[in-house]
Amino acid sequence: METYDALLASVAPAAGSGRTIFDPATGEAVGEAPIHELDYLESAVSAAAAAQPAWAALGHDARSAALLKAADAVERSAEELARLLSREQGKPLNGPNARFEVGACVAWLRATAGLPLEPETIVDDGETRAELHYRPIGVVGAIGPWNWPMMIAVWQLAPALRMGNAVVVKPSEYTPLSVLALVKVINEELPEGLLTVVSGGRDVGARLAGHPAIGKVMFTGSTATGRTIIKSSADTVKRLTLELGGNDAGIVLPDADPKAIAQDIFWGAFLNTGQTCAALKRLYVHDDIYDAVCEELTAVAKAMPMGNGLDENNVLGPLQNKAQYDVVANLVEAARASGARVLLGGNPDTSQPGYFYPTTLVADIANDNPLVAEEQFGPALPIIRYSTIDEAVEMANGLDVGLGASVWSADLKAARDVAARIQAGTVWINRHGAVDPRIPFGGAKQSGYGVEFGVEGLKALGVPQVING
């Protein structure tokens, strides 16, 4: 375990030679991130390719043991990592935020180490014997976003390593320090060269996505970048897992108890201050309980403190960057101008430093309003009225994305029936956004393809090979 300063210094370049990263809550410098260019990517890929065969030869048990040790190392440095994450990403230490994210890294490393994966006997009838194995791919590229930078890096690298691959990670240019520090700690338990972070920009990501020595890209980010990666990967027929943007609907059935569900709806929508791919971003509420849900949700939302992440009191933080702040502010302004009713928030205090946008609830809004139809990715939730379940399902399915969704009801059977009609990779009942390392997670429609987590997620980091005979 190292101190916060030592950990940060261990990933920083010589003073003055890097790129300064600023705290989105205060505008103060957090530290310098290295600027890695294409030649650094080349050396990382070569080192990965050189280290991979010996790692693959270790077998599942030894690789899982290394992942468990890596989890222990992350746990030992958890507080330092959480503090750096809070300063760089903005999310508070407290609540389901920075400490929670580092805890999830530990949990995912351990769970991935423990997943069972045995060869499957497909046919054994006396004449034919066919077994299905999953062999390592080789070098895997992992490209991630800025909202849950550490957790998503672990979602990508842990199954890749477990399956015998080497990994080159390209974090978001907004949050490189968090990933550099996390991987520095994980690397205490791994052979040299096997896992490298390349702290580069979009050009480095594009090269990674087209690199002939990379067999698979795990990508989490926007749908627009996902489309570009599909094109870049075409020449080398690279395998892809794409976890892309969403705009998750939640449908509240008329029998739900507004008071009982308000807190869980709040966190389903405002987890990480709304900067979560599978957060609830459009809430459809039946006429009968519309006003009561608006009232209960407003009461819960009002009580949630937002501010600097290092203050233990806060559970909501700033937007991570100015571009995202502008997206949210413009969408809320347009909604207000259209005649929608702002129940809470909507008036940022621009005299304060930081990209803080207040918790915002918008009622009586049309389904085709951009605040509903676009992925706002921030602390603003539109609440749309409906009168029939068919109408609610049609609106929920009306977009070209389908990552998560939720149904809220006291009647589990009724909720499951509605859930089955929703076009999304996961439909939660009476909660939203809860992910689990044992349960496959992925998107429908333009939210991507392939799944992460669980045995299905492991298989996605291997090449299926049939031994026939």
Contact pattern from residue 153 through residue 182 relative to ligand NAD, giving x for each residue in contact according to CB under 6 A and a dash for the rest: -----------------x-xx---------
Which residue bears the tokens 């937002």? 306
Element (H, E) at 79: helix 78-89
Helices (H) and strands (E) in the chain, counts: 16, 20
Which among 13-21, 27-35, 242-250, 284-292 is the span making contact with ligand NAD, rule CB under 6 A?
242-250
Strands 216-220 and 280-286: unpaired
- Does position 45 interact with ligand NAD (CB under 6 A)? The reply is no
Tell me the residue type at 234.
Answer: A
Question: Which of 71, 375, 386, 415: binder of ligand NAD (CB under 6 A)?
Answer: 375
- Does position 229 interact with ligand NAD (CB under 6 A)? The reply is yes
Least spacing, CB of residue 48 vs ligand NAD, in Å: 17
User: Residue 317 corresponds to which tokens in the numbers above?
Assistant: 């933080």
37 is catalytic: no
Q: Which is nearer to ligand NAD, 145 or 258 (CB)?
A: 145
Question: Which of 146, 270, 356, 453: binder of ligand NAD (CB under 6 A)?
Answer: 146
Catalytic residue among 75, 243, 375, 452: 243
Query: What's the angle, vertex CA 318, arms to CA 183 and CA 17, rounded to 5?
Result: 45
Q: Which is nearer to ligand NAD, 197 or 343 (CB)?
A: 197
Tell me which residue has its CB nearest to ligand NAD: 205
Contacts with ligand NAD: how many residues (CB under 6 A)?
31
- Does position 147 interact with ligand NAD (CB under 6 A)? The reply is yes
Which among 128-136, 222-230, 294-302, 356-364 is the span making contact with ligand NAD, rule CB under 6 A?
222-230
Question: Which of 92, 345, 443, 457: binder of ligand NAD (CB under 6 A)?
Answer: 443
Q: What is the distance between the alpha carbons of residues 364 and 362, in angstroms, rounded to a whole number?
A: 7
Least spacing, CB of residue 246 vs ligand NAD, in Å: 5
DSSP calls for 147-193: SSHHHHHHHHHHHHHHTT-EEEEE--TTSHHHHHHHHHHHGGGS-TT
DSSP-assigned beta bridge partners for residue 136: 462
Question: Which of 94, 165, 196, 225: binder of ligand NAD (CB under 6 A)?
Answer: 225
Measured in whole angstroms, the distance separating CA 279 from the mean position of its chain's CA atoms is 10
Region for residue 272 given its phi and psi (left: phi exceeds 0; alpha: psi -120 to 50; beta: otherwise): left
Catalytic residues: 243
